[in-house]
Amino acid sequence: MTEMSKIDTKALLADVTEFLWQEADMLDAKNYGAWLDLWTQDGIYILPMGDGEDYKNQLNLCYDDDKMRRMRVDRFNRGFSISSAPAADTVRTVSRIVIESAENDTIKVRVAEHLIENKFGRQRVWAANLFYTLRKTEDGFKLDRKIAKLLNSDGMLNSFSYLF
């Protein structure tokens, strides 16, 4: 991390935390329209499998640019997808927030996410490490990269009717 005073660091962590909690709240509330607005035009949202990091050239669970993100949200919202009509309910916690670097307007953050889904009276628990690249803009932070690495991402999963 570049030289920052202790006060600056604490203030940044507080700002980032507030932003991530707002995002988590949007996702649990399935307020996807607001979530789409958090992104930069070139932002990429990825759920990879395994440890590989050559996301473009490997198979991921999802690799969403702006167009795919909008299509995904559109699919959720239209109500024709039987797996998301209704979707599973989710409650998530994001915590253990670590700011890895903050240079100019680019902030890299590592976060733990615990999510519990409920559908058919059955609850499932998922844990993920989230890797964010945030851009600081006049309108606050924007999502530029979000990589959600599920534990057991290359093992047997279930289908997901929500976002991590």
Distance CA 15, CA 5 (A): 15
Distance CA 115, CA 87 (A): 14
| Between 135 and 149, CB nearer to another protein | 149
| Between 44 and 99, CB nearer to another protein | 44
Site membership for another protein, residue 84 (CB under 8 A): yes
The Cβ-side half-sphere exposure at 42, using a 13 Å CA radius, reads 3
Specify whether the CB–CB gap between 115 and 92 falls below 8 A.
yes
Site size for another protein, by CB under 8 A? 30
Contact region with another protein (CB under 8 A), list: 34-42, 77-85, 108-116, 134-142 = 77-85
Site for another protein in 125-154 (CB under 8 A): 154
3-class SS of residue 73: helix
Question: What are the residues binding another protein (CB under 8 A)?
Answer: 47, 49, 56-63, 68, 71-72, 74-75, 78, 80-84, 120, 154-161
